Amino acid sequence: MTEQTPLDLAHAAMEAAPQDDAARLRFYERLADAELFLMLTEEADGDQISPELFETPEGAFVLVFDREERLAQFAGRPVPYAALSGRIVAQMLAGQEIGLGLNLEVAPSAFLIPAEAISWLHQTLGHAPQEVEAGVIEFTAPKGLPEALLTALDAKLATAGGLAAAAYLAGVRYESGGQGHLLGFVGAKEAAQASLAKAAGEALTFSGIEAGAMDVGFFEAGDPVAASLARVGLRFDLPQPKAPQELKPVKPGSDPEKPPRLV
């Protein structure tokens, strides 16, 4: 039996509980984070790609697969493709009135995702929390947070290798009298802070938690605040690369700032 992929598992959970919004959100989160293989009509020309478009009574769809082997099995012959993250595919298709056919005919997660859902996903991925600027009076151990949020944060931060030394989730009281929870990143690279804040926002959104239930802050390792967070907070370790590597985009969509263009 072929090993099930994260998308297979998330799709099965969604299908088993059609009224469960949390299961549906988790599926779309896995879709956004997954590497997908987009079927093309011809080899990519620089950053321009030409996806194979399938017209159906439900509308137009492009086809993606979460394994190269599944793409090959569906096509039955060598075909050109582009390896893209789900979020890049959503960005590329948003507003185009084109849906997404996932793993059609080759996996239990075969699913037609309509154009409206793709546009919703793109808009949802654009949300991010604001960084904390208010004065903090006290940090406390986190309490009352749903397991879904903790699991989502753990999964998100596991993909943020090398962007920060660690992250701590703690309860917080502000000088203004407000209180809540804060996810504090320690030793985050300045260029990565927006991406880390966005990842935290996605974990909130796809957990079904109200926006504003968690703030985000960035602190240096030598900052006394970092020590306070370490004493009472729930620690999330971010994978650290063994050695710096130069990133060289080799396929369309490798650079999030330059998504491929439909032709």
What's the CATH number where 198 sits?
Answer: 3.30.300
Please report the pLDDT score of residue 199 as a whole number. 86
Q: Is the pLDDT of residue 39 over 90?
A: yes
Per-residue confidence band for 22, with pLDDT thresholds at 50, 70 and 90: confident
Using the structure block, give the residue that is written with the tokens 């099930």: 4
Same domain, 81 and 163: no
Domain residue limits at 206: 136-232
Q: How far, in Å, CA of 88 to CA of 129, rounded?
A: 20
Q: Is residue 42 a part of any domain in this protein? A: yes
Co-location of 98 and 39 in the same domain:
yes
Confidence check: pLDDT of 49 > 70: yes
pLDDT at 42 over 50: yes
Q: Are residues 118 and 157 in the same domain?
A: no
CATH number at residue 41: 3.40.1350.90
Give me the amino acid identity at 7. Answer: L
Residue 40 amino acid letter: L
What does the pLDDT read at residue 212?
52
> Which among 24, 32, 16, 18 has a CA at the least distance from the CA of 64?
32
Q: Does pLDDT of 248 surpass 70?
A: no
Give residue 11's pLDDT: 96
Distance, in Å, from the CA atom of 164 to the CA atom of 141, rounded to the nearest integer, reads: 21
Q: Which residue has the higher pLDDT, 168 or 211?
A: 168
Instruction: Report the percent of the chain where pLDDT is more than 70.
Output: 86
Give the Cα separation of 260 and 42 in Å (integer). Answer: 14
In which band, very low, low, confident or very high, does the pLDDT at 1 lie, cut at 50, 70 and 90? very low
Judged on CB neighbours under 10 Å (0-12, 13-18, 19+), 144 is exposed
pLDDT at 36: 96
Per-residue model confidence (pLDDT) at position 76: 92
Report yes or no: 180 and 136 within 8 Å, Cβ to Cβ.
Answer: no
| Assigned domain for 92 exists | yes
Q: What is the pLDDT of residues 78-129, one digit of tens each?
A: 899 999 999 999 999 998 999 999 999 999 999 999 999 999 999 888 766 6
Mean pLDDT of 219-244: 86
Q: How confident is the model at residue 131 (pLDDT cuts 50, 70, 90)?
A: low
The DSSP secondary-structure symbol of 34 reads S
Q: Do 142 and 223 fall within a single domain?
A: yes
Same domain, 159 and 220: yes
Tell me how many helices (H) and strands (E) the chain has: 8, 13
Query: Is position 113 within any domain?
Result: yes
Same domain, 105 and 145: no
Is 237 a domain residue? Answer: no
Residues 63 and 89 in one domain: yes
Domain assignment of residue 247, yes or no: no
Q: Which of 16-25, 65-74, 124-133 has the lowest mean pLDDT?
A: 124-133
Average pLDDT estimate for 197-202: 86
At 112, phi and psi to the nearest 5? -95, 115
Mean pLDDT value across residues 165-185: 89
Q: With respect to residue 240, please indicate whether it lies within any of the assigned structural domains.
A: no
Percent of the chain with pLDDT over 90: 46
Count of structural domains, the chain:
2
Q: Are residues 35 and 97 in the same domain?
A: yes
Instruction: Tell whether 239 is covered by a domain.
Output: no
Say what the pLDDT of residue 133 is: 62
User: pTM for this one?
Assistant: 0.68
227 has pLDDT over 80? yes
Q: Are both 57 and 13 inside the same structural domain? A: yes
- Whether 242 is in a domain gets the answer no
Q: Are residues 88 and 156 in the same domain?
A: no
Same domain, 80 and 109: yes
| Distance, CA of 110 to CA of 4 (rounded, Å) | 12
Residue 135: how many other CB atoms lie within 10 Å: 8
Question: What mean pLDDT is reported for the chain?
Answer: 86
Q: Are residues 12 and 108 in the same domain?
A: yes
